[in-house]
């Protein structure tokens, strides 16, 4: 089999890239290890930067997001009992859209179906070959049979645990990693959200986040030690701990209910450079991971896809390869900015076991600066709503 761009991974990065290319007349094949139902069962964050929203509209998949997503022009940070509003509209004239990543992925699958895009699910033993030659190709097995896919380019959109990144020779790859000493326990419940805007809470007992999907679906998180197991946390214990970390007057309005999903995710920052090797281009979680505190994971995947799709279009339509040559450098410049913001907000809002009273004073002063200083508010708002591409 042959295609122009072979895409490994059918998560949001791979699907969005495939859709943008297909709409411009470029052929793709998406190879995904899991079933579609499995991909659509994963619960991830739900905050879209304006750039991501614009890109989804340009890809022609924004209609349901416009109908069902919610525009948020601010969020709250708390310090113990104090609610500090980050007013994005006043600080930088921008907003974010709250719309679940699972829904973005579903919209992309539906749009790909409507144009008859080629997706192969259930592939195993995916291997990349001859990346530094003019004849790159992929081998894989499907239902026990071996297959070969020839292509011009390969997009490695296969997430942190995928094979693409590791196909770049180790001596050409540089990896940067920071692992945080805690995880987030997340709960999804069919209850009205605690508040109309997201609340990120810094509390002596640890971080907590009140988020949402829609008026009858809430998403809540609490920081937990990495040694905790989901089964250690009953729903009642979760609600009690979550309430204790929110300001008392806000927690008084909490409506609890049974959890419909409960999971623990570790927090990590990771970058692998470069994001290109010969015919291979990495996108999204395959090249970088951010802790969820800044809600940047999907948004960084979107900016990578923007740069790569623009480069591929110029290559095929105008025989101009400058965008492909610049891809790694441009994508990484934005990745590192989001890394810094995600690290800053993570460091600001969590309880670190090794923190001294001095470190906690630094958190307090930084939060007070965010409460009172328009320059600090603007910097937060610009980063949260998304730096320009
Ligand atoms: N072969 C084929 N597919 C693979 C392989 C493989 N060897 N390894 C992983 N995959 C698939 C996974 O099953 C998954 O569906 O690649 C996909 C990668 O999707 P994500 O992990 O969602 O990564 P990405 O599309 O870059 O999305 C980035 O979305 O998933 C979130 O936390 C992530 O928010 C971030 C954003
Ligand atoms: C979520 O709604 O799941 C969510 C929102 C904001 C974050 C992280 C997760 O920073």
Q: What is the DSSP letter of 171?
A: G
**Residue 248 Cα, ligand 1 centroid: separation in angstroms?**
39
Is the Cβ atom of 295 under 6 angstroms away from ligand 2? yes
Atom of ligand 2 nearest to the CA of 293: 10
What the chain holds in terms of domains, given with CATH numbers, is 5-73+94-177+268-345 (3.50.50.60), 178-267+351-385 (3.30.9.10)
Is the Cβ atom of 34 under 6 angstroms away from ligand 1? yes
Give the tens place of pLDDT for each residue, 246-294: 999 999 999 999 999 999 999 999 999 999 999 999 999 999 999 999 9
Give the tens place of pLDDT for each residue, 189-237: 999 999 999 999 999 999 999 999 999 999 999 999 999 999 999 999 9
Q: Is 296 tagged catalytic?
A: yes
Token pair of 122 as six digits: 């259930």
CA distance 188 to 169: 41
Mutate to test the pocket of ligand 2, among 103, 219, 342, 386 (most ligand atoms within 8 A of CB): 219
In this prediction the pTM is 0.97
CA distance 217 to 235: 16
Digitized pLDDT (tens) for each residue of the chain, 389 residues in all: 999 999 999 999 999 999 999 999 999 999 999 999 999 988 888 899 999 999 999 999 999 999 999 999 999 999 989 999 999 999 999 999 999 999 999 999 999 999 999 999 999 999 999 999 999 999 999 999 999 999 999 999 999 999 999 999 999 999 999 999 999 999 999 999 999 999 999 999 999 999 999 999 999 999 999 999 999 999 999 999 999 999 999 999 999 999 999 999 999 999 999 999 999 999 999 999 999 999 999 999 999 999 999 999 999 999 999 999 999 999 999 999 999 999 999 999 999 999 999 999 999 999 999 999 999 999 999 999 999 98
Q: What are the counts of helices (DSSP H) followed by strands (DSSP E) for the chain?
A: 12, 20
Is the Cβ atom of 342 under 6 angstroms away from ligand 2? no
**Three-state DSSP class for 35?**
coil
Alpha helix ranges (H) inside 319-356: 322-349
Q: Is 220 tagged catalytic?
A: no
**Residue 15 Cα, ligand 1 centroid: separation in angstroms?**
10
**Three-state DSSP class for 128?**
strand
- CB within 8 A of 324, min separation 6: which ones? 276, 281, 308, 311, 312, 314, 315
Is the Cβ atom of 100 under 6 angstroms away from ligand 2? no
Other C-beta atoms within 10 Å of 204: how many? 9
- CB within 8 A of 169, min separation 6: which ones? 277
Q: Is 72 tagged catalytic?
A: yes
Alpha carbon nearest to ligand 1 atom 22, residue: 11
């Amino acid at each position: 089999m042959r295609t122009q761009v072979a895409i490994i991974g059918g998560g949001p990065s791979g699907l969005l890239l495939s859709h943008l290319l297909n709409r411009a007349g470029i052929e793709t094949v998406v190879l995904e290890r899991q079933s579609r139902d499995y991909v659509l069962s994963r619960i991830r964050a739900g905050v879209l930067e304006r750039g991501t929203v614009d890109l989804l509209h340009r890809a022609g998949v924004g209609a349901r997001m416009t109908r069902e997503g919610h525009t948020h022009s601010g969020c709250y940070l708390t310090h113990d009992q104090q609610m500090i509003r980050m007013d994005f509209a006043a600080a930088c004239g921008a907003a974010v859209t709250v719309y679940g990543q699972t829904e973005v992925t579903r919209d992309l699958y539906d749009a790909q179906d409507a144009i008859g895009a080629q997706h192969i699910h259930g592939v195993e033993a995916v291997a990349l070959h001859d990346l530094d030659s003019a004849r790159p190709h992929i081998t894989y097995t499907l239902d026990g049979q071996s297959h070969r896919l020839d292509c011009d380019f390969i997009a490695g959109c296969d997430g942190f645990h995928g094979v693409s990144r590791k196909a770049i020779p180790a001596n050409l790859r540089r990896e940067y990693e920071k692992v945080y000493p805690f995880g987030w326990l997340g709960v999804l419940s069919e209850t009205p959200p605690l508040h109309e805007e997201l609340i990120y809470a810094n509390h002596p007992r640890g971080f907590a986040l009140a988020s949402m999907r829609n008026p009858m679906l809430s998403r809540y998180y609490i920081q937990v030690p990495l040694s905790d197991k989901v089964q250690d946390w009953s729903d009642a214990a979760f609600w009690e701990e979550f309430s204790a970390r929110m300001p008392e007057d806000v927690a008084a309005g909490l409506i609890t209910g049974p959890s419909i999903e409960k999971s623990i995710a570790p927090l990590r920052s990771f970058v692998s450079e470069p994001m290109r090797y010969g015919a291979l281009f990495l996108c999204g979680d395959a090249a970088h991971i951010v802790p969820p505190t800044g809600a940047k994971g999907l948004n960084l995947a979107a900016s990578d896809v923007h740069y790569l799709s623009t480069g591929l279009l110029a290559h095929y339509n105008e025989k101009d390869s400058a965008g492909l040559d610049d891809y790694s450098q441009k994508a990484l410049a934005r990745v590192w900015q989001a890394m810094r913001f995600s690290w800053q907000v993570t460091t600001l809002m969590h309880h670190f076991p090794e923190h001294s009273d001095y470190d906690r004073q630094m958190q307090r002063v930084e939060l007070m600066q965010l409460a009172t200083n328009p320059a600090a508010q603007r910097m937060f708002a610009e980063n949260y709503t998304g730096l320009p591409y």
